[in-house]
């Protein structure tokens, strides 16, 4: 979920004519970046108990404007203003306790001051209070209270709160699961430019959750998020172009978006970009490029790319022929439950290719792949069984039962 909201600046309130004039002198100086004058004017007022001046003085100490940065002094002046009921100062004092700046980190104190500001309608404090209940910081974890405070902030237009409330409805945390309401709040945040909300709303249109399935709307929202650099949205937009959902099939566009996401480290995009080079879709066929992108995804644990990279080493396409490397990558993918890799590893074991021949182990891997419906593995299991004794077959079955691939 989004991080706690940050510090805020000034907002003058009612005061005597002379005090107002002094405050405005400080304010004018601040806006022309004459921080020394602003600090001098506001400090005089703050010492006389002016809450707004105390709040602004806290900001200046917090940011090192007109004075050396001093979090302790910032917290001191925020507290003076907060004790007089200034909601912005209460919120900022809560942040100081939350972050341990100028005071010892104390989540319970942070909650206390967030609560005071939130009760006065401060949307940022309401959002942060929701975070504290959501995470169980300074209070017992309470999703219902988190949702309550998110709603207060969301009703005031707070984008992060709208997104988080959408998540609560999507997951059924603190509220009953309601995809229509999740979509409603995602849309509010998405309309304000929140990239994650745009991505989530695209997913809802793609899956028909809370809205009617609409691939054109899916593409629209993925595109908005992708335009902001959202890696998953870029991958999904590439996928929509590759399969022709919501847009006309366009392999060149698919490659474009896969490449953007792959460059951000998205393993699925790297895997898909490898596929495009392997098949010559949207780019010229280039096995070396395919192997390059599959390796990047394989190094992140992408099982399909691990299997594909193993096949490249077995065939010597895009990389030097190396059966031992093939076995290595097949094993990585097979251990994750990839049926093609299990079948391929079984084949290497059956033939003694890159590894010592072992019919029992081969049978076990074929069996695991066959259990997932892999037709080649079913055939290979039956073929290797012809070279095995009943006792060896029984051992192979036992070995398969004892394996626990990570799915």
What is the pLDDT at residue 209? Answer: 97
Lowest mean pLDDT among 9-23, 38-52, 255-269: 9-23
Report d(CA 388, CA 379) in Å as an integer.
Answer: 15
Q: How far apart are CA 96 and CA 406, in angstroms?
A: 43
The dihedrals phi and psi of 169, each to the nearest 5 degrees, come to -70, -35
Cβ partners under 8 Å of residue 119, min gap 6: none
Q: How far apart are CA 173 and CA 144, in angstroms?
A: 7
Query: Averaged over 305-318, what is the pLDDT?
Result: 98
Per DSSP, the three-state class of 402 is helix
110: pLDDT strictly greater than 70:
yes
Q: Quick one: which of 236, 219, 45 has its CA closest to 58?
A: 45
The pLDDT score that the predictor gives to residue 15 is 52
d(CA 155, CA 168): 15
pLDDT mean over 92-121: 98
Instruction: Give 3-state DSSP helix, strand, coil % of the chain, rounded to 5.
Output: 70, 0, 30
What whole-number distance in Å separates Cα of residue 285 and Cα of residue 268? 19
CA of residue 212 relative to chain centroid, distance = 25
- Binned at pLDDT 50, 70 and 90, residue 403 comes out as confident
Please provide the average confidence, as pLDDT, over all residues in the chain.
Answer: 94
User: Which pLDDT score, from 0 to 100, does residue 22 have?
Assistant: 80
pLDDT at 23: 86
What lies within 8 Å, CB to CB, of 353 at 6+ separation is 314, 323, 326, 327, 347
List, in sequence order, the alpha helices (H) in 172-302.
179-191, 195-207, 215-227, 231-243, 251-263, 267-279, 287-299
Which residues lie closer than 8 Å to 227 by C-beta, 6 or more apart? none
Statement: residue 1 has pLDDT above 60: no
Is the distance from CB of 55 to CB of 88 less than 8 angstroms? Answer: yes
**pLDDT tens string 56-83:** 999 999 999 999 999 999 999 999 999 9
**What pLDDT score does 20 carry?**
66
Length of the chain: 407
Query: Is residue 365 pLDDT above 60, yes or no?
Result: yes
| Residue 273 C-alpha from the chain's centroid | 22
Instruction: Return the number of other C-beta atoms located less than 10 Å from residue 226's C-beta.
Output: 25
Task: Write out pLDDT tens, residues 253-302.
Answer: 999 999 999 999 999 999 999 999 999 999 999 999 999 999 999 999 99
210: DSSP letter: S
What is the pLDDT averaged over residues 203-226? 98
């Amino acid at each position: 979920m989004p991080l706690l909201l940050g510090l805020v600046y000034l907002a003058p309130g009612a005061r005597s004519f002379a005090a107002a004039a002094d405050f405005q002198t400080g304010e004018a100086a601040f806006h022309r970046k004459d921080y020394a004058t602003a600090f001098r004017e506001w400090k005089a007022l703050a010492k006389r108990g002016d809450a707004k001046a105390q709040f602004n003085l806290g900001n200046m100490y917090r940011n090192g404007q007109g004075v050396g940065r001093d979090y302790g002094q910032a917290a001191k002046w925020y507290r003076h203003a907060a004790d007089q009921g200034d909601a912005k100062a209460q919120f900022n004092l809560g942040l100081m306790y939350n972050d341990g700046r100028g005071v010892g980190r104390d989540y319970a104190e942070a909650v206390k001051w967030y609560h005071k500001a939130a009760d006065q309608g401060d949307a940022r404090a309401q959002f942060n209070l929701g975070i504290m209940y959501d995470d169980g910081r300074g209070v017992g974890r309470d999703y219902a209270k988190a949702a309550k405070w998110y709603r207060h902030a969301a009703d005031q237009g707070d984008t992060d709160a709208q997104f988080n409330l959408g998540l609560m409805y999507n997951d059924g945390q603190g509220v009953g699961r309601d995809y229509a309401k999740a979509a409603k709040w995602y849309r509010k945040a998405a309309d304000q430019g929140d990239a994650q909300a745009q991505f989530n709303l695209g997913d809802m249109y793609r899956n028909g959750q809370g809205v009617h399935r609409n691939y054109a709307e899916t593409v629209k929202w993925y595109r908005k998020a992708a335009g902001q650099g959202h890696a998953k949205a870029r991958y999904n937009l590439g996928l929509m172009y590759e399969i022709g959902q919501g847009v006309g099939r366009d392999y060149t566009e698919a490659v474009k978006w896969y490449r953007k996401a792959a460059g951000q480290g998205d393993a699925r995009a790297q895997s898909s970009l490898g596929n495009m080079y392997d098949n010559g879709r949207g780019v010229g066929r280039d096995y070396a490029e395919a192997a390059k992108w599959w390796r990047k995804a394989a190094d992140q644990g992408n099982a399909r790319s691990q299997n594909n990279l193993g096949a490249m080493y077995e065939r010597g396409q895009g990389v030097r022929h190396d059966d031992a490397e093939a076995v290595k990558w097949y094993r990585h993918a097979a251990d994750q439950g990839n049926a093609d890799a299990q079948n391929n590893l079984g084949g290497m074991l059956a033939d003694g290719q890159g590894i010592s021949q072992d019919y029992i182990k081969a049978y076990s891997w074929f069996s695991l792949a066959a259990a997932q419906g892999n037709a080649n593995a079913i055939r290979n299991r039956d073929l290797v069984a012809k070279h095995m004794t009943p006792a060896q077959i029984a051992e192979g079955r036992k070995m398969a039962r004892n394996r626990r691939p990570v799915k």
